[in-house]
Amino acid sequence: MILSAPAAGSFFVRTPAMELQLSHLHRHFDRLQQQYGCPDLDSIYGAGCIDKPDLCLIFMNPTGRNIAADRHWKGLKAPWLGTKNSWKLFQGIGILSQQTLAEIQSKKPADWDEDFAEKIYREIAANKAYVTNLGKCTQSDASPVSNTVFKQYLTLLEQEIDQIRPQTVITFGNQVSSLFLNQPVCVSQQRRTAIKKTINNRSYDVFPVFYPVGQGMRNLGTAIEDIRFLIEKRR
């Protein structure tokens, strides 16, 4: 089950056993970045609990707003770093503390550093969640990415899922859900409904949820409600 958020002032000790990313996949994502992403930016990889998380959250693709996409950034290259709105979702579903959310909201992108980014993802990992994107190809802006490009990442995403083996997979939005499940998905008609996905003879429950950031910010409350409903149902 999802653990309660860490107490205020909690400190995560870095240990070799607590890895946050599947680093052996990164070179494959980097090669695709040169083909499909902005050549001046780095790939952004999945991060969090990589050993049987309760939740795996799959978003769309990163943009240059993520400060970790800058080639001078030497820390964790993980989703949503340097941004604000997505973390409201994470706090709302119980994988991020209110104190950490307040710290995030108080920072400008230039205020972020590698230690703070790692602290956030260690908290997410401690709460048994993993955050990734279907496409790791960082774009300079939020222009739409075609299905053709996203499909280049599907095999690698399946490898991610197969290696971390989450209990529940959340896919955000119609496009991501349809591509990952290889069938048409309309989130508004399939809310809180599990769709089975088999990877290497293992079956996963996949729940399509409204996209909650960017132009989908109006769906944030609904996305939180649906994910919390699924969490409670599985306890």
Q: Are 178 and 188 in contact (CB under 8 A)?
A: no
The predicted model gives 185-206 an average pLDDT of 96
Task: Please report which residue ranges of the chain form alpha helices under DSSP H.
Answer: 26-36, 86-92, 98-106, 114-126, 147-151, 154-164, 174-181, 220-234
Distance CA(35)–CA(7), nearest Å, equals 43
Judged against a pLDDT cut of 60, whether residue 57 lies above it is answered with: yes
The predicted model scores a pTM of 0.91
Residue 12 above 80 pLDDT? no
- In angstroms, the CA 27 to CA 16 distance is 21
Question: What are the tens digits of pLDDT across the range 82-137?
Answer: 999 999 999 999 999 999 999 999 999 999 999 999 999 999 999 999 999 999 99
The CA distances from residue 86 to 12, 82, 101, 116, in Å, are 22, 10, 10, 16
